[in-house]
Amino acid sequence: MTGGKPFYITTPIYYVNDSPHLGHAYTSVACDALARFMRLDGRNVLFLTGTDEHGQKVAKSARDAGLAPLEFCDRVSQNFRTMTKLMDISNDQFIRTTEERHVKASQAIWQAIAGNKSPKGRDNIYLGKYAGWYAVRDEAFYGEDELVKGADGAKRAPSGAEVEWVEEPSYFFRLSDWQDGLLAYYDAHPDFIAPKSRRNEVVSFVKGGLNDLSVSRTSFDWGVPVPGNPKHVMYVWLDALTNYLTATGYPDTQAAAYKTFWPADIHVVGKDIVRFHCVYWPAFLMAAGLEVPRRVFAHGWWTVEGHKMSKSLGNFVAPQQLVEQYGVDAVRYFMLRELPFGSDGDFSRRAVVGRINGDLANDFGNLAQRVLSMIQSYCGGKLPEPGALKAADENLLASARALLAKARTEMAEPAFHRALETIWQVVGDANRYVDEQTPWTLRKTDTARLGTVLYTLAETIRHLAILAQPFVPETAAKLLNQLSIPPGQRDFAALATALIPGTVLPKPVGIFPRYVEAAAAP
């Protein structure tokens, strides 16, 4: 922990029974880039991810696997830890909802909600009977009016998930009494839901009126027991959302982490789970008398080669396969650069290879390789001493020095694609500067000027590498090693310093190799 201003960021916790795929990797990579950016900017970051392990869906997968639910979860939760390692995710905690601390937190929030009255002076939680539709895949209740007709004519959830009719005793959360409270909260916090389009959807959904929400189930037992009535288990979304509190030490509201990090600065979620995070979650928190997170950002959805990703279509993309094929940083870069954060996009091999060979190999990789090789061969591997700067040098350095402020603005949204675009504009400026200054000629005509040009370029690359760290951490580290920058000099505060002439640089090795298609098998 550093002394900086706290920043608490979360991914959704992933359903433990799923095989990790491109979509999970995307959410994690986006959060990771933001978490790393904030750390480098001196913030005291708590970055949480983990697995969602209770509920009917997981219970069914465990049964299908012939295992007790916990044993099943113990085995498969590892798949998501492996995915986070593979994608170079720098999470501070990995939470599992089957952990004791989480069961305690979930029961505590239930009791806090039940112990308070709704804004209309009624019990927040009451016992009743649920009779309605439920989609196990979404772990969500749906009203008749929300259902759509599937291709087979059967009723479906709007997500396309199968629904089943459920009738069972259930506790209800008096969501209907929180309508005004929620609308007032959205009004007072215009940035709570991003992007704007999602905010509008949520506001009109809530304005349309809210039904009370079933928050316990009795037809299976794989969940957190309801305090005082263990025949019921808590609705998995109430338990799952509470993970964000558990990680801060809740229910111990005096815990240092709770006091430091709650309310969360940003929950990053896919657009599929906006209602849970922007309607149910703030209502639960207000009912429990707890603070509401500052922001929920809903990102878009990836299709693969133009189609919805699914195992049955055979276009399921596993992160492992991507990383083996393209390398982790290329995949991270592609995901964050290819589409505006918040919009949908398509994952195609052509687009990935285009970015690798264009932005990465041709632009950034080539810049670094050219400059570092020239310092090796023209300056004996030592950073040259700059002389008096000319306008062209000043301009390039000024654009490099202006990057941090611009990146901060983009990352506050967050608009990863624009932050990267901004950094790559300077990559382009630097490449043009090399071509204009022709250091290979200066070497013969003006060695003092050669030193200034190569120093200017090295210093620009230092800025670029420091700012690229959140997005392509492994490659940026390689590049910073090649500039002999000590580990303590790689944060954004270090941007205010400058390279020391005379520093010995190691022999350069390529960063961002070109992607060459393997020859087709005969």
Residue ranges binding ligand ME8 (CB under 6 A): 12-15, 18, 23-24, 26-27, 52, 240-241, 243, 269-270, 272-273, 301-302, 309
Spatial contact of 214 and 197, defined as CB atoms under 8 Å apart: no
Cα 459 from Cα 396, distance rounded (Å):
10
| 520's tokens | 């087709």
Nearer to ligand ME8 by C-beta: 274 or 434? 274
HSE, CB side, 13 Å, CA atoms: give it for residue 492: 20
Nearer to ligand ME8 by C-beta: 112 or 371? 112
Nearer to ligand ME8 by C-beta: 58 or 480? 58
Nearer to ligand ME8 by C-beta: 280 or 492? 280
Spatial contact of 454 and 446, defined as CB atoms under 8 Å apart: no
* Residue 178 Ramachandran class (φ > 0 left, ψ -120 to 50 alpha, else beta): alpha
In angstroms, give the least distance from the CB of 484 to ligand ME8.
39
| 381's tokens | 């591997």
| 140's tokens | 């969500």
In angstroms, give the least distance from the CB of 300 to ligand ME8.
7
In angstroms, give the least distance from the CB of 48 to ligand ME8.
10
In angstroms, give the least distance from the CB of 269 to ligand ME8.
5
Spatial contact of 271 and 249, defined as CB atoms under 8 Å apart: no
CB closest to ligand ME8, residue no = 23
In angstroms, give the least distance from the CB of 85 to ligand ME8.
18
Nearer to ligand ME8 by C-beta: 172 or 280? 280
Provide the residue count of the chain: 522
Nearer to ligand ME8 by C-beta: 322 or 403? 322
Nearer to ligand ME8 by C-beta: 223 or 384? 223
In angstroms, give the least distance from the CB of 316 to ligand ME8.
10
In angstroms, give the least distance from the CB of 285 to ligand ME8.
13
DSSP 177: G
DSSP code per residue over 472-514: SHHHHHHHHHHTT--GGG-SGGGGGS-PPTT-B-PPP--SSPP
Whole-angstrom Cα Rg for the chain: 26
